[in-house]
Structure 1
Amino acid sequence: CLDSENKSIMGNIKDQSIKEMWNSERYMKFRKLHTERRFSEIPLCNTCESYRELTFWDEI
């Protein structure tokens, strides 16, 4: 994945620790949507075709 337009900002290291960002509601939702393969609900992913070509999802 590549967020070349920096649209998926999860926090600011000047204001939060990495642990705080990782455990934030926003990041937990982001990870949950990925795990559930609900890419169309993720703004960064909903216009991307690459994830549809990945085959490893069926092996997880």
Structure 2
Amino acid sequence: MDCPSCEEHIGWEWVEEEAIEPNEVFECPECEESLRYLIDEGTYLGPQHKTVEVVD
């Protein structure tokens, strides 16, 4: 996934190592922006679609 703020790639391996759950706020390891990822299930994009958003 890419950080929407700095556009650096954040690997899912890093998210799993840090034990970050969906809807949990975390900081981008590059720019330290507060982020959250969401999982939409059963969308037209497939069985699971993951999105990352900046949290204010």
TM-score for the superposition, normalised by structure 1: 0.26
- Larger of the two Rg values belongs to structure: 1
Bigger strand fraction:
2
